Structure 1
Amino acid sequence: MSADAMSQKRALRAELRERRRTLTQSERRAATEGITAQLTALVQRFGARSVSCYLSAVDEPNTRPFLNWAKQQGVRVLFPISRADGLLDWTTATPGEEEFISAYGVPEAVGEPLGPIAINDVDLIVVPAAAVDRSGMRMGWGRGYYDKTLGSMERCPPVYGVVFDGEFVDEVPRERHDEALDGVVTPTRTVDFSTRSGHRRRT
């Protein structure tokens, strides 16, 4: 990737972080309600009985009400655990699970590691993102965990990124290893792409 494109990514990430910090409490509440409704409908649409989803940090779109709903419905949830080798491990959701803050400053679940290949058994993957563009490309926060995970899967289930409405943009800077998504979830809509799966759906 060119130095210019790398600087574009850094600048865009900084801008998006600042936007997230300045959201009001009412904006956050409305976004949480919308994200929960969109993710719930997505699980129901796919008939997913097992999903992977991250624990949202303070400034991220709030996934926790959705996760509570999933557990109440008996949906098996895998949480990501970052490893020193750049891969993601996984652990299952348990009642009253504990959390810790990782070295990257994000919450992760405390549980028995199931190994990186545990992700192969889920029906739907929900991933964080800094921004997603209209071609389906995801820009993460620069650590590369999800790109490595998704790029290594032979048969990948549908993958959806979660962002605030203003983070669904026309185009994001990209690198060769960046992985596309099947769709994006915002507080007001779910948009499906043909990038990964070859199927275009829109709700």
Structure 2
Amino acid sequence: MTTGEWDKQAWRAELLARRAAVSAEERMAEAAALAAGVTALHADGWVCAYVPVGSEPGSLALLDALRAGGARVLLPVTGPPGPLAWAEYLGGDRLRRARYGLLEPDGPTIPDALDLAELILIPALAVDRRGVRLGRGAGYYDRTLHAARPDARLIAVVRDDELVDHLPEEPHDHRMGWVLTPHHGLRRLEADTHD
């Protein structure tokens, strides 16, 4: 295990413990704030998003708010380790249970979905001010984001205290250009600044 991987494991353990300590009421309030905050995205085209699992910030209300604003929402469909496939979200009643406790659309996957997406909402445990994202470690997004359009906005979705000054970075990590938090809304990151 490299030093960067060990540092990431320590960060993950701490952040997951912090999330586990958040009350259900606070999680619900943050989810409502995120759903209200997506109006700042001005998304009226294709958007890649996700259904939160466990203590991840967000809710189906966020996806519904995107759709109400005119966006067509794509959600990941997991398979074997590798790039994610994507299918269109058509409402909560059209989701099915999938691996890792996820919910996925019940419709067909859309080939080259990332060619369509103007913005991509990405789950994260934390993101730093340079745009370095810390995920759960499975690598699905790292193997997927290289296919994003060059002009797509990559937006990490985290709790307010999960925007941090500095995270360990490895060569395969994709930097985010933006962060969306419940109380501070949408903020641009310094994704083009490399140490």
TM-score (norm 2): 0.89
Q: CA deviation at 1:18?
A: 1.3
Contact 1:100-1:110 within 8 A present in 2 as well: no
> Which residue does 1:28 correspond to in 2?
27
Matched, 1:41 2:36: no
- What is the aligned partner in structure 2 of residue 13 from structure 1? 12
1:3 counterpart residue number: 2
Query: Deviation digits for residues 44-96 of structure 1, max 9, x if unmatched?
Result: 2xx43221100111311023111112223342111111221411101011242
What is the aligned residue count? 191
* Equivalent in the alignment of 2:82: 86
**Change beyond 3 A, Cα 1:154–1:183:** closer
* Cα separation, 1, equivalents of 2:2 and 2:117: 37
Tell me what 1:128 maps to. Answer: 123
2:180 equivalent to 1:185: yes
**Any unmatched runs of 5+ in structure 2?**
none
Matches of 1:105 and 1:37 in 2, distance apart?
26
1:69 corresponds, among 65, 85, 97, to 65
CA shift for structure 1 position 123: 1.5
Q: Quote how far apart the aligned CAs of 1:135 are.
A: 0.8
- Distance in 1 between the 2:146 and 2:189 partners? 17
Counterpart for residue 104 of structure 2: 108
Separation in 2, partners of 1:113, 1:126: 18
Maintained 8 Å contact 1:55/1:63: yes
* CA–CA separation in structure 2 for the residues paired with 1:63 and 1:156: 26
Distance of 1:97 and 1:58 partners within structure 2: 20
Q: Which residue of 2 aligns with 1:165?
A: 160
> Match for 1:36: what amino acid?
A
In structure 2, C-alpha distance between the alignment counterparts of 1:15 and 1:89, rounded to whole Å: 30
Structure 1 residues 32 and 153: CA distance shift in structure 2, 3 A: closer
The amino acid of 1:139's aligned partner reads: L
Residue aligning to 2:141: 146
1:201: which partner in 2? Answer: none
The residue type paired with residue 27 of structure 1 is E
Contact 1:147 1:179 in 2 (8 A): yes
Q: State the secondary structure of the residue aligned to 2:14.
A: helix
Query: 3-state DSSP class of the match of 2:187?
Result: strand
Once superposed, what is the RMSD of the aligned Cα atoms?
1.9
Unaligned ranges ≥5, structure 1? 199-203
Amino acid aligned to 1:39: V
Q: Which amino acid aligns with 1:33?
A: A
Q: Secondary structure at the match of 2:94?
A: coil
Q: Compared with structure 1, are the counterparts of its residues 9 and 124 closer, same or farther at alpha carbon in structure 2 (3 Å cutoff)?
A: same
